[in-house]
Amino acid sequence: EAAVTQSPRNKVTVTGGNVTLSCRQTNSHNYMYWYRQDTGHGLRLIHYSYGAGNLQIGDVPDGYKATRTTQEDFFLLLELASPSQTSLYFCASSDERGLEQYFGPGTRLTVL
Amino acid sequence: QQQVRQSSQSLTVWEGETAILNCSYENSAFDYFPWYQQFPGEGPALLIAIRSVSDKKEDGRFTIFFNKREKNLSLHIKDSQPGDSATYFCAADYQGGRALIFGTGTTVSVSP
């Protein structure tokens, strides 16, 4: 069964809305990551964590918060969603930082 | 500023040909270079990776050629098959860095 799962798979919200994207990994990995994927930009790192309660800022953090509640669970929060945050979001996990990352299936978010 | 650049957004080859995907980088400290493969509707998955101490890494029909002096690398897909049609991301990392940095991706289409 899939080792990295994301929910929801699709989400539509309105400008100013509150959105939480969820990610769970069963790899027993320490590192977890949130990326956004946009045409022409590839994968861009939003936030990452190396353990429960830890949070590190990525390259495009503005407008996003994240929380790592357990080793398995990593959440991405958009408290005032904007149309510029319409994107495909991926969660990933890895045992050691940077080495093989295992990606989830993605969440497509549309902000109207 | 794009630290990892992929020169082609898309590439079309005939079945049986060799597809060549190019990647360049700016930071001389990068020492680990994975390539990820992504099929439509899925998350990326590690395909093959090389460390900067090597100039070539081969895995079946996939080969990475690495040129440290020129700060570029390429992924060769020999005997391309329609099942190789996917988006390929070049990435880079280094010890002490924050996390993997991905290029913008090259979408390969293999025509039968």
Give the list of residues 6+ apart from residue B21 with CB closer than 8 angstroms, or none: B6, B8, B11, B35, B74, B75, B76, B77, B88, B90, B106, B108
Interchain pair B44, A56: CB under 8 A: no
For the record, the structure tokens of B10 come out as 């898309």
Domain count across chain B: 1
pLDDT in tens, B3-14: 999 999 999 999
User: What CATH code is carried by the domain that includes residue B41?
Assistant: 2.60.40.10
Q: Could you tell me which of B70, B81, B80 has the C-alpha nearest to residue B22?
A: B70
pLDDT at B94: 80
Mean of pLDDT over chain A: 94
Spatial separation of the C-alpha atoms in residues A23 and A6, rounded to whole Å: 5
- A100: contact with B, CB 8 A cutoff: yes
| Residue ranges, chain B, pLDDT below 70 | 1-2, 96-98
pLDDT in tens, A35-58: 999 988 899 999 999 999 999 999
Interchain pair B32, A103: CB under 8 A: no
Q: Is the pLDDT of residue A74 over 90?
A: yes
Note down the domain range covering B64: 4-111
pLDDT at A99: 77
Chain B: residue nearest A103 by CA?
B43
Spatial separation of the C-alpha atoms in residues A108 and B9, rounded to whole Å: 22
Radius of gyration of chain B (CA): 13
Spatial separation of the C-alpha atoms in residues A108 and A88, rounded to whole Å: 4
Share of chain A above pLDDT 70, in %: 96
The domains of chain A, with CATH numbers, are 4-105 (2.60.40.10)
